[in-house]
Amino acid sequence: MKLRSKIILFCLLLSECVYSQNVLIDNSGDTLVTITLEQMDDIYIELLQKDSLMAQSEISRFKTLKYVQLLDSAEKDITTLRMQLNIVSSDYSSLLYVSEKKIKRNRKIAFYSILVAICQAAIISVL
């Protein structure tokens, strides 16, 4: 009696852990598998979760791609700005050199002009 109740109890526990499905073959030879509504709900939930994860991975992939494109664009902008800075720096250096030459030339002209004016004033005062 104890053995029989143990076997029955074991079978009841086993029946809770497993699920059954019926396999039907129709006239055309196709195999049909029937499942319970609870199993169908579980499968549907898993499919929805899979679709959600796929959509999230797709969004994540697009975000990563956009970040890579943004970094690439920023790198190109930085390179372009560095080239422009070098061009402006060289233009500034050349303009500074030219202006310093003009200032030195104008100082010389001013010095000689003052010297000539002093000489002319001295000649006029002697006469």
Give the start-to-end residue ranges of the domains of the chain. Answer: 2-126
The confidence score (pLDDT) of residue 12 equals 66
Confidence of residue 7 (pLDDT cuts 50, 70, 90): confident
Considering only CA atoms, which of 87, 86, 64, 84 is closest in space to residue 76?
A: 84
The confidence score (pLDDT) of residue 121 equals 87
Placement of tokens 């970040």 in the chain: 67
Average pLDDT of the segment spanning 84-103:
91
Q: Report if pTM > 0.85.
A: no
The confidence score (pLDDT) of residue 23 equals 55
Considering only CA atoms, which of 102, 98, 80, 101 is closest in space to residue 90?
A: 98
Considering only CA atoms, which of 44, 45, 19 is closest in space to residue 33?
A: 19
pLDDT tens digits for 15-54?
A: 655 555 555 566 676 666 677 788 888 888 998 888 888 8
Considering only CA atoms, which of 26, 60, 23, 19 is closest in space to residue 43?
A: 19
